[in-house]
Amino acid sequence: MNAPIIADGVLIQRYMQGNQAAFETLLNRHRNRIFTSIYLLVNDRYLAEDIFQETFIKIINNIQAGKYNHEDKFLPWAMRIARNLSIDTIRSRKRMPVVVDSEGRDVFDCLGISVQSREDEQINQDEISALKHWIRELPEEQREVLILRNYAELSFKEIAVLTNTNINTCIGRMHYAILNLRKKMQKNTVRVK
Amino acid sequence: MITPITETDLLLFYYQEADEVTTSIIREHLPENTDWQYFLNELATISSESSSLMCSPSNTTLSIILEESRSQLEHTL
């Protein structure tokens, strides 16, 4: 017989009372959903590792500082932290200056150590998935709703609160994301994955 | 007269977020409606393929987080 699942809120309370195992359970329960969501949002495995770590360190600090509101659900709260950190990272990467050589090429391209090439290398190491590429090609707002619904498993209502939009906008974006993915799937004879 | 069911309704039905009335209409008419079946099958395919992309953080990252949580606990208690 399976042991009953202990609610996230109970685990947080136990952790606050000194139970480290409760925190480990919480981390193991949500790590893949949160990590995959971050990874698909920032498109870089190394950055995703950093953001994931930073997210959980903020979670720990907030819990221990008594800043976790027990009326909130843990996952949407954690995803809010993860999403904000992901957005900050994407913005700061966009601000990074590109250093070009005399012919106007990005010097890091020549060295083969640019963020993009590191990501390409990771893609080669991974089992290349057509679906992953199609998800990346979706317009940002559609991609975000799809990731938050399918990977973070947030409800449309929770996504609406998180992204500061209304529920119908979220549903509409998800609908377009699905339509776009269907089109890409139908257009490609390659089997997904 | 049956309320028209849109793909958005089917989307919400698939994610179990449709209201009770819409859910019962879709359940009742789904066996005879091949368009709905097709759309829901497509959604199921996308979801199932999506789950194959699920990945885990590295053990190093997890160790750092657990170390931090332990250390915070020691400071607090």
Residue A98: per-residue pLDDT? 54
Topology classification of domain A7-95+107-125: Rna Polymerase Sigma Factor; Chain: A (1.10.1740)
Using a CB–CB cutoff of 8 Å, tell me whether A52 touches chain B: yes
A117: pLDDT strictly greater than 70: no
A128: pLDDT strictly greater than 70: no
Asked whether the beta carbons of A53 and B61 are under 8 A apart, the reply is: yes
Q: How far is residue A185 CA from its own chain's centroid?
A: 23
Q: According to CATH, where is 1.10.10.10 located in chain A?
A: 129-188
Tell me which residue in B15, B56, B69 faces A60 most closely, judged by beta carbons.
B69
Residue A193: per-residue pLDDT? 41
Range of the domain at B26: 7-76
Q: Residue B43: name the closest of B19, B72, B12 by CA.
A: B12
Residue A113: per-residue pLDDT? 36
Residue A2: per-residue pLDDT? 64
Tens digits of residue pLDDT in B6-65: 999 999 999 999 999 999 999 999 999 999 999 999 899 888 888 888 899 999 999 999
How far is residue A171's CA from residue A159's CA, in Å, rounded to a whole number?
10
Q: Which of A52-56, A64-68, A129-133 has the lowest mean pLDDT?
A: A129-133
Residue A124: per-residue pLDDT? 42
Tell me which residue in B11, B51, B58 faces A178 most closely, judged by beta carbons.
B11
DSSP string over A113-128: -SHHHHHHHHHHHSPP
Chain-chain contact of A20 with B69 (C-beta, under 8 angstroms): yes
- Mean pLDDT, chain A, rounded, equals 82
Residue A104: per-residue pLDDT? 54
Q: According to CATH, where is 1.10.1740.10 located in chain A?
A: 7-95+107-125
A47: pLDDT strictly greater than 60: yes
Rounded to whole angstroms, the maximal C-alpha distance in chain A is 69
How far is residue A122's CA from residue A53's CA, in Å, rounded to a whole number?
19
Task: State the Rg of chain A over Cα.
Answer: 19
Using a CB–CB cutoff of 8 Å, tell me whether A175 touches chain B: yes
Average pLDDT over residues A83-95: 86
ipTM score assigned to the predicted complex: 0.85
The residue of chain A nearest to residue B77, with distances taken between CA atoms, is A18
- Cα dihedral B29/B33/B35/B38 (nearest 10): 90
- CATH code of the region A129-188: 1.10.10.10
Residue at B2 is within a domain = no
**How much of chain A, in percent, has pLDDT values that exceed 90?**
59
Counting the structural domains of chain B, the total is: 1
